Amino acid sequence: MPRDATPTALKVHHDHDRCIADALAAAAEVCRELGARFTPLRRRVLEIVWQSHKPLGAYGILDVLAAEGRRPMPPTVYRALDFLVAKGLVHRIPSLNAFIGCTRPGRRHDGQYLICHNCGTVAELTDEGLNTALGKAARGHGFAVESVLTEAVGLCPACAERRKTAS
């Protein structure tokens, strides 16, 4: 995504069904390229993660599967999530102990997230300039950065507008 592009989760109107379909198609392609099995459970877990732009924990995924009549054990869902993270299809957001779909599957990139503290929406941001600046600052301190996870907490456009309107 170009630096000036609006992350999908922050767009006021977007075709969410298309968003999910694109994520599943991209995941199938990444798995095919890597020679990895995109099993029905892995596919369904990824689909559940993409059902909203809000991060979802493993037990939330288990609840959705249980509501569908499936009864996988927690380790099964954790293995599916580990696979999806390892293949770059979802990201784990440690501060929330939750997962969100990756908007750039199959491409190496560091995680940058805009987290709305009001509604819980999370948008993935990719700003190479931010990573470059952080890397330069770290090197200035003799630190070798291996990976970056940046979280900015605030209000998404919809919640900011509601707050502004309510004032």
Using CA atoms, how far apart are residues 134 and 147, in angstroms rounded to an integer?
11
Burial class, 9, CB count within 10 angstroms (exposed 0-12 / middle 13-18 / buried 19+): buried
What is the pLDDT at residue 67? 94
Using CA atoms, how far apart are residues 118 and 153, in angstroms rounded to an integer?
10
What is the pLDDT at residue 57? 95
Q: Along the chain (167 residues), what's the average pLDDT of each consecutive run of 10 residues?
A: 43 72 94 96 96 90 93 92 94 92 81 90 86 91 88 93 89
What is the pLDDT at residue 10? 52
The b/e string for 126-159 (b: 16+ C-beta within 10 A; e otherwise) is: beeeebeeeeeeeeeeeeeeeeeeeeeeebbeeb
Taken in order of first residue, the domains within the chain and their CATH numbers are 11-108 (1.10.10.10), 109-167 (3.30.1490.190)
Q: What is the pTM of this model?
A: 0.80
CA 100 from centroid of its chain's CA atoms: 3
Using CA atoms, how far apart are residues 87 and 84, in angstroms rounded to an integer?
5
Using CA atoms, how far apart are residues 91 and 65, in angstroms rounded to an integer?
20
Mapping DSSP onto H, E and C, the string for 59-118 reads: HHHHHHHHHCCCCCCHHHHHHHHHHHHHCCCEEEEHHHCEEEECCCCCCCCCEEEEEECC
What is the pLDDT at residue 5? 41
- Tokens of residue 136, six digits: 């330069």
